[in-house]
Amino acid sequence: MYGIDSKSRPYVHVKVFKQRRVFAEFIAFGGEVAINCRECFRWHTIVFRTSSDKAELLETEVPVEVKEGSAA
């Protein structure tokens, strides 16, 4: 999920579950975050606009770093 926190900062919060337990979790407060929607399988990039204290959600192509066959 993404939004604005109590200090008026845009954020992205990701929580990963494995067998109903929290496996990983992170919160990003700046920069640019690429995510894959588990419902529609489309990639989106969330861009933090520091000049306006807003976050913008954009549908994007699959990042080259995760394309099938790319080196990890």
Q: Give me the number of domains the chain comprises.
A: 1
* Residue with tokens 């990639």, as numbered in its chain: 43
Given the DSSP bridges, would you call strands 21-28 and 32-36 parallel, antiparallel or unpaired? unpaired
Query: What is the pLDDT, as a whole number, of residue 68?
Result: 64
Query: What is the pLDDT, as a whole number, of residue 72?
Result: 46
Give dist(CA 10, CA 50) in Å, integer. Answer: 8
Question: pLDDT tens, position by position, for the chain (72 residues)?
Answer: 888 888 877 888 888 899 989 888 888 887 888 888 878 888 888 887 766 666 777 788 877 777 765 554
In a domain, 45, yes or no: yes
Query: What is the pLDDT, as a whole number, of residue 52?
Result: 64
- Cα-based angle 43, 20, 29 (whole degrees, multiple of 5): 45
Domain of 23?
2-66
| Residue 37 structure tokens | 């929607």
In a domain, 18, yes or no: yes
| Residue 30 structure tokens | 């700046």
Give dist(CA 29, CA 9) in Å, integer. Answer: 7
